[in-house]
């Protein structure tokens, strides 16, 4: 007898829904084993990561932090999921996030110290436009020259990082900063500050935008012809062509929309929680959002949940570092396992395990 994989005629719905949960459980087990090998109590470590931020002693502080950490992930992942569904692979959300942030901050710094309500809406527009424009580069290159959008969008992340450093050291440097790099702190410029809508709740405009994005993406994919075209292109590209889907327009839309959303996420971050243009402003939201998109099954509601889960592992992981002395690398490994096991369990969506007699060999 041997174990063998048999392709399902259709992907299993049950496994599609179950596999993220199963992946979380396996991650907890494997992560627990890892923590035990490091000489920590695995039950305590896992419960610190998942329980402490939500219901622990200082949950009043950590719960808002979940929104702050989760909002940009969800906002970016929603955009990415549109493209991923259509087979358009934007890997460069990190770069679009940076350029969106720089565009938004640029508007704020240009208006400083003008105190007018119009500044913040203009920053939002600039943020979205900046991200959109950065996303258009791989889109147009792909349409015009057939370049690979995966490579181009990824490379543009490094270009954006250099741009960020140049801005923090040059044009956007705080004139009152004694020559040190970094812009003015936007948190101290009320007209541009993306403050919590209710104090200390973590609920800033980026959270609102993420919620709206989830709802709009849900409607788009479920009810709108464009959403139908996106799904069709991803699932059956040939059929999509026969159905009159214009692949060029779809590429422009997917890269543009995901760029704009990533740009918005960057703008809300730089005007709120981060506060200033600094060399190390970006911390990898654009890459983590790829995990979030897949963990959420490329479904808007799933992405919202996955984004919050990812935020939970970040914040819980930090608490475990501080309280239990777990090394940062162990936490990163724990997060990596989540995607790894998800992909592994996903096999069961398309295949079923069968015990088959050993085939007769000739």
Three-point CA angle 139, 140, 141, nearest 5° = 95
Out of 19, 230, 286, 318, name the contact with another protein by CB under 8 A: 318
**What distance in Å separates the CA atoms of residue 56 and residue 78, rounded to the nearest whole number?**
30
- Taking the C-alpha atoms of residue 190 and residue 271, their distance in angstroms, rounded to an integer, is 10
Whole-number Cα distances in Å, 280 to 94, 98, 181, 192, 318: 12, 10, 11, 21, 19
Least gap, CB of 56 to another protein (angstroms): 10
Residue 274 engages another protein in binding (rule: CB under 8 A): yes
**Binding region for another protein (CB under 8 A) out of 9-17, 55-63, 206-214, 224-232:** 55-63
- Among the listed residues 22, 26, 2, the one whose alpha carbon sits nearest the alpha carbon of residue 12: 22
Which is closer to another protein, CB of 125 or CB of 163?
163
Does residue 281 belong to the site contacting another protein (CB under 8 A)?
A: yes
Window contacting another protein (CB under 8 A); options: 31-39, 148-156, 158-166, 233-241: 158-166
Q: How far is the CB of 109 from another protein (least distance, A)?
A: 16
Task: Write down the least CB distance from residue 137 to another protein, Å.
Answer: 22
State the residue for tokens 């590209």. Answer: 237
- Tell whether residue 323 is a contact of another protein (CB under 8 A): yes
Q: Contact with another protein (CB under 8 A): which of 12, 47, 185, 335? A: 185
Counting contacts by CB under 8 A, is residue 276 touching another protein?
Answer: yes
Rule CB under 8 A: is residue 336 a binding residue for another protein? no
Instruction: Label residue 149 exposed, middle or buried (CB < 10 Å: 0-12, 13-18, 19+).
Output: buried
Minimum CB–partner distance for residue 318 and another protein (Å): 6
Find the binder of another protein among 57, 175, 238, 244 (CB under 8 A): 57
Integer CA distances (angstroms), 25 to 261, 297, 342, 345, in order: 31, 17, 10, 11
- Is-contact 167 104, C-beta < 8 A? no
**CA end-to-end distance (rounded Å), the chain:** 17
Q: Which is nearer to another protein, 20 or 95 (CB)?
A: 95
Which residues inside 218-247 make contact with another protein, applying CB under 8 A? none
Q: Which is nearer to another protein, 55 or 180 (CB)?
A: 180
319 binds another protein (CB under 8 A): yes
Distance separating alpha carbons of residues 47 and 52, to the nearest angstrom: 7
We find the least distance from the C-beta atom of residue 199 to another protein, in angstroms, to be: 4
Point out which span in 118-126, 223-231, 267-275, 342-350 binds another protein (CB under 8 A).
267-275
What is the nearest approach in angstroms of another protein to the Cβ of residue 180? 6
The answer to the question of residue 208 lying near another protein (CB under 8 A) is no
Rounded CA separation 93/80 (Å): 8
- 198 belongs to the binding site for another protein (CB under 8 A): yes
Beta bridge partners of 6: 352
The reply to whether 279 sits near another protein by the rule CB under 8 A is yes
* Shortest Å distance, C-beta 284 to another protein: 8
Applying CB under 8 A, the residues found at the interface with another protein are 57-58, 60-61, 65, 68, 162, 165-166, 169-170, 178-182, 185, 187, 198-201, 269, 273-276, 278-281, 283, 315, 318-319, 321-323, 325, 327-329
């Amino acid at each position: 007898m041997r174990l063998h994989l048999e392709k399902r005629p259709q992907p299993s719905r049950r496994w599609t829904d179950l596999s993220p949960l199963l992946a979380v459980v396996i991650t907890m087990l494997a992560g627990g084993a890892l923590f035990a090998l490091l000489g920590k109590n695995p039950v305590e470590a896992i419960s610190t990561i998942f329980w402490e931020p939500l219901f622990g002693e200082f949950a009043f502080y950590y719960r808002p932090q979940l929104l702050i950490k989760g909002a940009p992930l969800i906002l970016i992942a929603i955009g990415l999921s549109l493209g991923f569904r259509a087979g358009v692979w934007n890997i460069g959300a990190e770069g679009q996030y940076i350029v969106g942030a720089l565009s938004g901050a640029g508007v704020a710094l240009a208006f400083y110290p003008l105190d007018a309500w119009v500044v913040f809406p203009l920053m939002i527009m600039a943020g979205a436009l900046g991200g959109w424009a950065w996303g258009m580069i791989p889109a147009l290159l792909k349409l015009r020259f057939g370049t690979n959008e995966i490579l181009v969008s990824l490379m543009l992340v490094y270009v954006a990082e250099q741009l960020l450093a140049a801005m923090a050291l040059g044009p956007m440097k705080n004139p009152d900063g004694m020559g040190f790099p970094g812009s003015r702190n936007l948190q101290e410029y009320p007209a541009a500050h993306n403050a919590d809508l209710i104090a200390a709740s973590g609920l800033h405009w980026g959270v609102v935008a993420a919620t709206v994005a989830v709802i709009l993406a849900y409607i788009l994919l479920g009810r709108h012809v464009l959403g139908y075209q996106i799904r069709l292109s991803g699932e059956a590209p040939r059929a999509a062509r026969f159905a009159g889907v214009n692949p060029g327009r779809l590429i422009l839309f997917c890269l543009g929309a995901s760029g704009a959303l990533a740009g918005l996420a960057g703008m809300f971050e730089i005007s709120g929680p981060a506060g200033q243009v600094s060399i190390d402003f970006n911390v990898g939201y654009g890459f983590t959002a790829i995990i979030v998109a897949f963990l959420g099954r490329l479904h808007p509601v799933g992405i919202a949940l996955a984004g919050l889960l990812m935020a939970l592992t970040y914040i819980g992981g930090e608490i475990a570092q501080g309280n239990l002395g777990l090394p940062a690398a162990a936490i990163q490994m724990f997060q990596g396992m989540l995607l790894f096991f998800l992909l592994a369990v996903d096999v069961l969506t398309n295949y079923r395990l069968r015990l088959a007699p050993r085939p007769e060999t000739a």
